[in-house]
Structure 1
Amino acid sequence: MGSFRTLEPVSRKFGFDRGTPVDRMYMDHFLQMHKTDITGHVLEVGDNQYTKKYGHNIKRSVILRGNAKGSECYDGDLTDQETLKTLGQYDCLIATQVFNFIFDVPAAIKGLDMLLRKGGTGLITVAGLSQISRYDFDRWGDYWRFTTLSAKKLFDAHFGAGKTEIKSYGNVLVATGFIQGMAGEEFSHEELFYIDPDYQIMIAIKIKK
Structure 2
Amino acid sequence: MTAFSPFRRIARSCRSQLLRLVARSPSSIGRLLPRRFWTPPPGTIDFGDFGRTEPISVDFGFDRGVPIDRYFIERFLERNSSIVCGRVLEIGDNEYTLRFGGSQVEKSDVLHVDATHPAATIVGDISVPGTLPDRAFDCIILTQTLHLIFDMRGALAELARALKPGGTLLITVPGISPVDRGTWRHTWYWSLTENALEQLLASVLAEDGIEVETFGNVFAATCFLQGLSLSEVPPAKLDVLDKAFPLIVAAAAKRLPQ
Give the TM-score normalised by the residue count of structure 1: 0.94
Q: 1:43 to 1:204 in 2, by over 3 A?
A: same
Deviates more, 1:69-78 or 1:50-59: 69-78
Higher relative contact order (CA 8 A, sep 6+): 1
Deviation at 1:104, TM superposition (A): 0.2
Q: Does 1:9 align with 2:67?
A: no
Q: Deviations over 1:81-135 (max 9, x none)?
A: 23224x7610000000010100000000111112110000110000000000122
Paired position in structure 2 for 1:186: 232
Unaligned 5+ residue runs, structure 2? Answer: 1-46
| Residue number among 168, 175, 178 corresponding to 1:131 in the alignment | 178
Q: Deviations over 1:21-48 (max 9, x none)?
A: 0111111100000000001100001110
**Aligned residue pair count:** 207
Distance 1:151 1:99 in 2: 10
Write out the 4+ residue segments of structure 1 that deviate beyond 6 Å after TM superposition. Answer: none
The 8 Å contact of residues 173 and 248 in structure 2, kept in 1 or not, is answered as yes
Deviation at 1:160, TM superposition (A): 2.3
Paired position in structure 2 for 1:122: 169
| Residue number among 57, 61, 67 corresponding to 1:21 in the alignment | 67
Paired position in structure 1 for 2:150: 103
Which entry has the higher C-alpha Rg, 1 or 2? 2
Q: Does 1:89 align with 2:142?
A: no
Bigger strand fraction? 1
Secondary structure at 2:244 match in 1: coil
Distance 1:104 1:136 in 2: 19
Distance 1:83 1:109 in 2: 12
The 8 Å contact of residues 101 and 136 in structure 1, kept in 2 or not, is answered as no
Deviation at 1:184, TM superposition (A): 1.5
Deviation at 1:72, TM superposition (A): 5.4
Distance 1:8 1:138 in 2: 17
Deviation at 1:142, TM superposition (A): 0.2
Paired position in structure 1 for 2:43: none
Distance 2:190 2:244 in 1: 18
Q: 1:133 to 1:24 in 2, by over 3 A?
A: same
Distance 1:70 1:137 in 2: 21
Paired position in structure 1 for 2:192: 146
Give the TM-score normalised by the residue count of structure 2: 0.76
Percent pairwise identity: 35
Distance 1:183 1:2 in 2: 17
Secondary structure at 2:130 match in 1: helix
Distance 2:220 2:148 in 1: 23
